[in-house]
Amino acid sequence: MHPFENEGFELGPEVTACLVDWEQRSARRRGITAFPFVDELLELEASTQGLSLDGKVLARFIRRLDAEAKSEVRKGIQKKRNQSPWKQALESAHSSWFRIYSELCRRQDPSAYLEDCRARISQDWTLALPVAKDLERKKNYAQASGLCAAALCSFLRLPQGEKWELRKNLLAGSYRMNGEGNTPLQNLLQIWGRSARALQEEEVAVAARLQADLLKDWRNWDKAIAAFRRIPQPGFSALGECLFARWRELVATRSVDSDADRPEKPHWVHALADAAREGEGTRHSISVWLRQWLQAIERDGATLRQSEAALVRLSLDLDRAQWLSRVSPTMVRLLAYNRSYDRTLDASRKKWLKRLGIFSLVPELLAFWRRNARHLVPDPAAARGADYRDCADWVQALRELNPASCEDLLRQWSVTQQRRRNLWRALQAKGLSMSSGNRRC
């Protein structure tokens, strides 16, 4: 069996550098020039199945060649690009050999560089940017627009033939987005917008600008709402409403942690986003909406559990739940455990909760928790193995919030859960269980 038959083996930078240096010394003694030497390196890699040399070391070696040697390498690759093993080495846009060849062409043969970039956009969307810039410079706006659309499909890894609609779908928050935006993607959207405007496709131009603005600022509600307000009205109101609905869904989904069951829609973050868009004059209406929402989700235990994640986020956002911590520190610890946090998104929600006077609902929210905490206590029958610590923690929080409800729950459990000895041990460890079969808080 070949040593690399089942798994690839990439030589590290130090080993690759030593190998290149050794082979280069041998090539000099044999009078071999730049391209035949590079050709030998690829032949070595290709002949040893599964072996790959460190791409950064190879690229650094090429960069250090003089201009004449670089030209020789480029021309040599172009001459053999349709022959094995160069054909296979250059097929992938992510191949270190393609990147080396692409960089040589970028400096020495721009037309070939752009042609190769264009052919591989489906593999690497970033290759669209130099092509789009060139098309815009040549005022070939129709091709530039089409190319930008294809690049975004590549970015989103859509199946071949499937289209992404700039005016209906939101790029911000995509599963492939990270950090605080993506400058190449913003540049691509800006080229698309300018090209669309040159083609008098004003709606596409407006959508492209909005998409570019939201890439960086979707978490910051003030900046995002400002971007929506820049949409010319009333001509593009339908576009604005469509993409605002997408943004509202994005911030609501990212704000609320939910596992299998998603909160009922719409929940309070949707309403808060609508109110923020309308401005501080909506204080009364958002307060009324929240009261109605709280009434709706406590109709029954199933509805409450389905909306638990949204309720938890609201409770934590209001004054960092200090109002709840003063009554039940255990409950706040349970609610905050394992929750995701996004500093900018969290700050935006809290800012608008304060601006719209939602802190006035704290007494009502506390009363809500006192009435309903019992419905969120985990069912001992659903515990993993014999570990009932989570159940005991929730019962402790219930005792802090509503001692009478806690007593009633334990009285019920003394009948239905009597045989779960480890449950009662966990409760006793927190001082929640009395002996003699009459279990009380």
pLDDT of residue 6: 46
Whole-number Å distance between alpha carbons of 406 and 159: 54
Residue with tokens 């719209």: 356
Whole-number Å distance between alpha carbons of 195 and 201: 9
Query: Which residues, at least 6 apart from 348, have a Cβ–Cβ distance to it below 8 Å?
Result: 219, 220, 221, 222, 251
How is residue 115 written in tokens?
Answer: 């042609």
DSSP assigned state of 10? E
Alpha carbon separation from 47 to 41, 44, 336 (Å, rounded): 10, 5, 57
- Average pLDDT, whole number, for the chain? 91
Count of residues making up the chain = 441
- Which portions of the chain are predicted below pLDDT 70? 1-8, 175-181, 258-264, 434-441
Q: Long-range contacts: 130-136, Cβ < 8 Å, 24+?
A: 130/106, 132/188, 132/191, 132/192, 133/191, 135/195, 136/191, 136/194, 136/195
DSSP assigned state of 280? G
Whole-number Å distance between alpha carbons of 226 and 196: 22
The continuous run of DSSP H or E covering 27 comes out as: helix 13-29
pLDDT of residue 1: 40
Alpha carbon separation from 189 to 32, 166, 257, 321 (Å, rounded): 47, 10, 31, 41
How is residue 6 written in tokens?
Answer: 């089942």
For helices 237-255 and 202-217, give the axis angle rounded to 10 degrees: 20
Whole-number Å distance between alpha carbons of 303 and 264: 8
pLDDT of residue 230: 96
Per-residue pLDDT of 45-63, as tens digits, reads 998 877 889 999 999 999 9
Domain ranges of the chain: 1-120, 121-172+179-225, 261-376, 380-429
Q: Are 139 and 198 within 8 A, CB to CB?
A: yes
pLDDT of residue 393: 97
pTM above 0.85, yes or no: yes
How is residue 323 written in tokens?
Answer: 């109002």
How is residue 113 written in tokens?
Answer: 């560089």
Q: Are 56 and 16 within 8 A, CB to CB?
A: no
For helices 221-229 and 237-255, give the axis angle rounded to 10 degrees: 170
pLDDT of residue 122: 95
pLDDT of residue 441: 58
DSSP state letters, 344-406: HHHHHHHHHHHHTTGGGGHHHHHHHHHHHGGGGSPPGGGSSTT--HHHHHHHHHHHHH-HHHH
Whole-number Å distance between alpha carbons of 37 and 60: 15
How is residue 164 written in tokens?
Answer: 């992404």
Residue 374 phi/psi, 5° resolution? -60, -35
Whole-number Å distance between alpha carbons of 117 and 96: 14
Helices (H), strands (E): how many in the chain?
24, 2
Alpha carbon separation from 334 to 113, 135, 410 (Å, rounded): 57, 56, 20
Whole-number Å distance between alpha carbons of 421 and 315: 34
